């Protein structure tokens, strides 16, 4: 702890409470932007739905289902003479329940225990965020944990599905808290998140010709998605043994059924080991549909 110079100030005319936390902007660690950018929807679109998957830095999570603070009380000590004082401030902890499908929740399993930066979004759209020493907007540094559980029974318990436990790591950031009033609403922010698509393997990778049959469906409804009709939309994001792997051709005659036959090759021949792919639709200059990352076994 460190004492700071204290100055008396005036008292504001409004004594209204801040509204409840209803959403979280979750971004990669140390992602910053100017306060002016943070006030605009375009500023967040550049992080959440840019023109390429490589440029994605974050997303928005709707937590209308619930938000419970679990921040411990400050550490207090009592001397042998009975003198009490605060010896330690403890950082913020909370549980958030995502208003998402289980399929969406599964995508977060890979982020269990990962460090992110977090910007709480209030019901009226205001953003709670610290600032850097240079005056830039940055999220609260912290960790996210998911809960692997079976479906819950009972209406009240069901609302506690899709549970995220989040720990902020630096209590000092709370001392530099700013409340930003943006020029967009919370629902407008939610609307820029790309629509989730599920992709699955229908016919395994054929090592003879490098083809695999894949299916794309709208997440939550299972309806076929017919928009991944060019091979460039199917991106290889990870290779186990090869180098230079990419989609090189596509047959999309059954796109209305969500079925696509893709050819994936490395720089000289067929792929020889498992690879991971992701499909994306861009309506310039923003990503509008984005799939899960799918492992294609060989």
- pLDDT (tens place) for every residue of the chain, 298 residues total: 567 788 888 998 988 898 999 999 999 999 999 999 999 999 999 999 999 999 999 999 999 999 999 999 999 999 999 999 999 999 999 999 999 999 999 999 999 999 999 999 999 999 999 999 999 999 999 999 998 888 788 888 888 889 999 999 999 999 889 999 999 999 999 999 999 999 999 999 999 999 999 999 999 889 999 999 999 999 999 999 999 999 999 999 999 999 999 999 998 899 999 999 999 999 989 999 999 999 999 9
Question: Which DSSP symbol is given to 1?
Answer: -
Give the separation between CA 129 and CA 32, rounded to whole angstroms: 11
Q: Is residue 193 classed as helix, strand or coil in its secondary structure?
A: coil
214 within 8 A of 260, measured Cβ to Cβ: yes
Give φ, ψ of 247 to 5 degrees: -75, 135
Supply the pLDDT for residue 168: 96
Q: Which of 95, 196, 102 is nearest to 150 (CA)?
A: 102
Supply the pLDDT for residue 105: 93
Supply the pLDDT for residue 1: 52
Q: What pTM does this model have? A: 0.91
- Which are the contacts of 118, defined by CB distance < 8 A and separation ≥ 6? 24, 25, 26, 27, 139, 140, 142, 166, 168
Q: Is residue 35 classed as helix, strand or coil in its secondary structure?
A: helix
């Amino acid at each position: 702890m460190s004492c700071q110079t204290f100055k008396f100030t005036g008292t504001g005319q409004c004594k209204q409470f801040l509204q409840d936390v209803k959403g979280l902007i979750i971004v990669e660690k140390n992602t910053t932007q100017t306060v002016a950018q943070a006030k605009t929807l375009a500023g967040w679109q550049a992080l959440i739905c840019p023109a390429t998957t490589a440029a994605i830095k974050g997303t928005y999570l709707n937590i209308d289902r619930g938000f419970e603070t679990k921040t411990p009380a400050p550490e207090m000590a009592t001397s042998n003479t009975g003198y009490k004082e605060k010896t330690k401030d403890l950082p913020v902890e909370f549980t958030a329940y995502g208003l998402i499908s289980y399929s969406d929740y599964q995508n977060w399993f890979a982020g269990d225990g990962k460090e992110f930066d977090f910007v709480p979004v209030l019901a009226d759209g205001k953003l709670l965020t610290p600032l850097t020493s240079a005056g830039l907007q940055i999220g609260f540094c912290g960790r996210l944990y998911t809960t692997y559980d079976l479906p819950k029974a009972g209406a009240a318990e069901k609302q506690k599905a899709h549970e995220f436990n989040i720990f902020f790591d630096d209590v000092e950031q709370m001392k530099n808290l700013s409340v930003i009033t943006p020029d967009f609403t919370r629902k407008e922010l939610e609307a820029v998140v790309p629509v989730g698509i599920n992709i699955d393997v229908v016919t395994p990778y054929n090592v003879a010709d490098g083809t695999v049959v894949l299916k794309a469906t709208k997440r939550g409804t299972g309806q076929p998605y017919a928009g991944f009709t060019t091979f460039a939309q199917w991106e290889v994001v990870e290779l186990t043994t090869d180098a230079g792997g990419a989609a090189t051709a596509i047959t999309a005659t059954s796109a209305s059924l969500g079925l696509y036959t893709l050819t994936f090759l490395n720089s000289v021949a067929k792929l020889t080991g498992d690879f991971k792919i992701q499909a994306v639709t861009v309506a310039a200059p923003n990503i509008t549909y984005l799939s899960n990352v799918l492992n294609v076994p060989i």
